[in-house]
Amino acid sequence: MLRRLLSSTRYIVLLPILGTFMAAVGLMVYEAIALTVTLIDIARGGTVSPKDVKTLAVGVIEAVDIFLIGIAIYMISIGLFTLFVDDTLAMPRWLVVRDFEDVKANLVSVVIAVLAVLFLREAVAWNGERDILGFGSALALVIAALSLYLGLTKAKRA
């Protein structure tokens, strides 16, 4: 009886699965709407200046950033579902989750992309006044550390 009870408690993970799934969908839908509204506002404005283009570029880069975060949260949701509820779910090869290390590796990969997009946003918005070298260097160190973690984890598992 205790064994059956403990076995069925794995379904408690449905709470974070549903929560992360709804958060991912919410983020992506919200950002798609926000991006659409921005594009409509620019189209209605009738004038296009270099400043408008730069503002649009920064807005699009910020949207990509939010989409990547939504995708990371979605990947966590799917990974948890696969690990705790149903491991027969058909997934593309890049989203296959065998254990919790795969969930972490997927998350770290997306975090690397988000950090790169974060620097890209700052570089596009750069007006020459701020020093972005320190910011870029700090991000590069974090990205290098995360990449090293991924490489060592992959080598350890092979």
In the predicted structure, residue 48 carries a pLDDT above the cut 80: no
Of the listed ranges 14-28, 36-50, 57-71, the one predicted with least confidence = 36-50
Average confidence (pLDDT) over 30-59: 85
Q: CA triplet 14, 20, 22: central angle to 5 degrees?
A: 100
Q: List, in order, residues 6 or more apart from 86 with CB less than 8 Å away.
A: none
* pLDDT band at 43; cut points 50, 70, 90: confident
Q: What is the pLDDT of residue 21?
A: 97
Q: What is the pLDDT of residue 93?
A: 84
Average confidence (pLDDT) over 41-68: 84
Q: What is the pLDDT of residue 14?
A: 92
Q: What is the pLDDT of residue 139?
A: 96
The Cα–Cα gap between 57 and 63 comes to 10
Q: Which residue has the higher pLDDT, 7 or 114?
A: 114
Mean pLDDT computed over every residue of the chain: 88
Average confidence (pLDDT) over 24-34: 96
Residue 27: count other Cβ atoms within 10 Å of its Cβ.
19
Q: What is the pLDDT of residue 140?
A: 96
Domains of the chain, residue spans: 12-157
* pLDDT band at 29; cut points 50, 70, 90: very high
Closest CA to 7 of 87, 85, 103: 85
Q: Dihedrals φ, ψ of 88, to 5°?
A: -100, 5
